[in-house]
């Protein structure tokens, strides 16, 4: 299912401006990477697509529809979101976290959640407490939740950070697989993931300093500019 996300001159911010004049489009199926160092506004861009941050000016269009016309109730039919991490001080089991996702307008069933975990190779963690998992395991649970929802647009915040080689390759394999059938938008500072993507936008301090095919954008000069080396 091809879905198109388009940012037209979008300015985002909380108290002060975080993103100035972002213009790009992600036409699915694809892997679109928002690349930038910490604090460059990557997460803010993802949050604007789930209406947590509202554009100060400009438009965010999803399949031609302005996001302001899309209700929060409609979001899970279109988008699934995997945050970098979240803090659970209660005793949520990994299975429950995945079962709190929606698919085709209804909550995911236990069997479907277990299947999604098995796909990710983490079915043995189903009844483990999320709070007691390692960073890598948490990441896999959060990703399994996003993938299980079968939404057309999948937003991933730092999907590969804090993972060891093995888990990183599992996660990357799943991201690649997902990007064949939907629009995956990943915010990351992982250069490897950026290189394997279809399109990137490179952010520094809230400004886009390059956009397009990663092979063309990611020159040595550009990488130095992105990471301030």
Q: By the criterion CB under 8 A, which residues form the site for other proteins?
A: 47, 50-52, 72-76, 79-81, 83, 86-93, 96-97, 100-102, 107, 127, 129, 131-132, 155
Q: Which run of H or E residues covers position 31? A: strand 30-35
132 or 192: CB nearest other proteins? 132
Which residue is it, tokens 């979240």?
86
155 or 175: CB nearest other proteins? 155
92 or 223: CB nearest other proteins? 92
CA 4 vs CA 42, 64, 228: distances in Å: 19, 8, 32
Is the dihedral angle over the CA atoms 68, 64, 146, 183 positive or is it negative? Answer: negative
44 or 160: CB nearest other proteins? 44
Residue 63 burial by CB count (10 A; 0-12/13-18/19+): exposed, middle or buried?
A: middle
Taking the complex as a whole, the smallest distance from the CB of residue 34 to other proteins amounts, in Å, to: 16
Number of other CB atoms surrounding residue 213 within 10 Å? 11
Taking the complex as a whole, the smallest distance from the CB of residue 225 to other proteins amounts, in Å, to: 29
Taking the complex as a whole, the smallest distance from the CB of residue 121 to other proteins amounts, in Å, to: 22
Taking the complex as a whole, the smallest distance from the CB of residue 52 to other proteins amounts, in Å, to: 6
């Amino acid at each position: 299912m091809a879905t198109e996300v388009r940012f037209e001159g979008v300015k985002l911010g909380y108290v002060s401006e975080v993103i100035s004049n972002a213009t790009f489009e992600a036409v699915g199926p694809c892997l679109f990477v928002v690349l930038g160092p910490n604090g460059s506004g990557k997460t803010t861009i993802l949050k604007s697509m789930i209406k947590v941050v509202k554009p100060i000016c400009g438009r965010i269009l999803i399949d031609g529809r302005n996001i302001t016309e899309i209700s929060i109730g409609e979001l899970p039919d279109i988008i699934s979101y995997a945050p970098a991490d979240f803090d659970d001080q209660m005793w949520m089991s990994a299975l429950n976290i995945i079962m709190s996702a929606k698919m085709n307008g209804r909550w995911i069933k236990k069997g479907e959640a277990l299947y999604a975990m098995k796909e990710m190779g983490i079915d043995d963690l189903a009844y483990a407490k999320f709070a007691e998992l390692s960073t890598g395991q948490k990441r896999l649970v959060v990703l399994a939740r996003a993938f299980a929802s079968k939404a057309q647009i999948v937003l991933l915040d730092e999907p590969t950070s804090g993972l060891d080689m093995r888990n990183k390759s599992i996660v990357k394999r799943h991201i690649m697989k997902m990007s064949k059938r939907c629009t995956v938008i990943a915010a990351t500072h992982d250069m490897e993931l950026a290189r394997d993507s279809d399109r990137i936008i490179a952010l520094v301090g809230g400004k886009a300093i390059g956009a397009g095919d990663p092979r063309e954008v990611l020159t040595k000069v550009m990488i130095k500019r992105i990471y301030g080396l």
